[in-house]
Amino acid sequence: MLNWISHPPAPGAADVPPLLIAHGLYGSARNWGVIAKRLSDQRQVVAVDMRNHGQSPWTTPHRYAEMADDLAEVIGAIGGRADVLGHSMGGKAAMMLALRHGAAVNRLVVADIAPVPYGHSQMQFIEAMRAVDLSTVEKRSDAEAQLAALGVDRALQSFFTQSLDLKEKRWRLNLDALAADMDEILSFPQVEGHWDGAALFLSGSESDYVKPEYRPRIRELFPNARFARLSGAGHWLHAEKPREFEATVRAFLNA
C-alpha cells in the first residue's frame, strides 16, 4: 500500500468524509504538508506518496489505472469514501479513480490538469537528476548547484531536492520506472463511461494546462464539472497562491 501522512481532524470537527491528496510528478506527500494541516481543522486529511515517489513502493507499471487502484486501496483503509484532491499527475490519477471506483469518491478537485494527452516532455528533468553525482552531495544545496549547472530552474531545483535522501545518497524517485512510462504519464487513457459526482477543475490563470477546448472532453467524463481559475497563478497554483487555493478548495468541499 502507498505511504501516507495523516492529519487528524481538529477536536469538534464535523463528521464529513476525509480528504485524500494526490501530488504531481516528482512530488510527495510532504509537499502538501501546510495545506493538509490547515484543511484538517474541519476533516481528516491524508496526503499520499504516489507509487515510485517518496516512501511508497517502487513498482511498475506507472500508469493511471494502477495509480487509481492505489488510491482506492488507501480510501478503503480510511473508511471507504473520501473527497479527493489531485494536482497534475495526481489529478489524472484522481480522475481515473472516480471513473474506476466511483463509489469511493465523494467530491473531486482536479488541480490544473485535464484528461487529455500533453505534448511537452518531462524527460529532461529525469536526465538532470540522473546526472547529479550523488557521491559528492552532503547537503541539498550541493545537489541544487549541480542541477543549476545543468540548466534546471531555481524553483525546480528546490522542488526536486525535496525528494533527495541525503543519508542514503539516492533519489526517493524511481527514475527508471518514471522514464519507462513517461508517454503514459503525459497521456490519458481512452476511457468510456463517466462520473456524475461534484467535480471542480481548478486551474491557474497563467497556466495553459486546462484550455477552453478541453472542456467538452472534461464534461463527457464529468458531467457535473465546474471550472474556476486562480488569478495570477501558474501550474503550481497551490504553491504560488496557497491561501487562495485553500479557500477555494474549502468552499467547494463544504458546499
**Looking at the annotation, which residues are catalytic?**
88, 176, 235
Where do we find the cell 465546474?
A: 226
Is residue 87 within 8 A of residue 22, CB to CB? The reply is: yes
Please spell the DSSP secondary structure of the chain, one letter per residue. ---EEEEPPPTT--S---EEEE--TT--GGGGHHHHHHHTTTS-EEEEPPTTBTTSPP-S---HHHHHHHHHHHHHHTTS-EEEEEETHHHHHHHHHHHHSGGGEEEEEEES--SS------HHHHHHHHHS-GGG-SSHHHHHHHHHHTT--HHHHHHHHTTEETTTTEESB-HHHHHHTHHHHHS---------SEEEEEEETT--SS-GGGHHHHHHH-TTEEEEEETT--TTHHHHSHHHHHHHHHHHHT-
